[in-house]
Amino acid sequence: MKVIVDTSVWSLALRRSRSSQKFPQVTTLRELILVSKAALLGVIRQEVLSGIRETEQFTCLRDYLRAFPNLELEIEDYEKAAEFYNTCRKNGIQGSNTDFLICAVAYRRGYSILTTDGDFTLFDRYLPVTLWQ
């Protein structure tokens, strides 16, 4: 099974100091990459690359991430993301459009989600998503 890797994990692995290597999610990302199971959404690529001040660092990260194709999204992914947003909102849970799109794509494809973002634990209560353990 493939795993959608959230921005928080890519950022820890690629943009943070060496101390971030202590996070188990970074180790998991490395393992997923080695067995070709790490999945990337275009919106996550955009988030990882946004805010990089140095052109050289941006180019290096951009070129590294090009090894990972974007998952193709369907109309149903966006519709399901809106449905998931509404479900969580109705239950007092807030989240970003990107987070709900990640949940929708993972749901439709039967993928897990690897993240350090605690919001996904809240979503997990109301949405049929699987978080990578």
Consecutive 10-residue averages of pLDDT for the chain (133 residues):
96 74 90 97 97 94 96 98 98 97 98 97 96 90
Contacts of 104 by beta carbon, 8 Å cutoff, 6+ apart: 76, 77, 78, 79, 80, 81, 83, 84
Looking at the chain, the domain(s) classified CATH 3.40.50.1010 span 75-131
Q: Strand ranges (DSSP E) for 3-133? A: 3-5, 38-39, 112-114, 130-131
Fold of 75-131: Rossmann fold (3.40.50)
Which pLDDT score is estimated for 22? Answer: 82
Which pLDDT score is estimated for 17? Answer: 62
Under DSSP, the state recorded for 58 is H
Distance CA 65, CA 61 (A): 6
Which pLDDT score is estimated for 80? Answer: 98
Is this structure's pTM higher than 0.75?
yes
Range 53-62 burial, b when 16+ CB lie within 10 A, else e: eeeeeeeebe
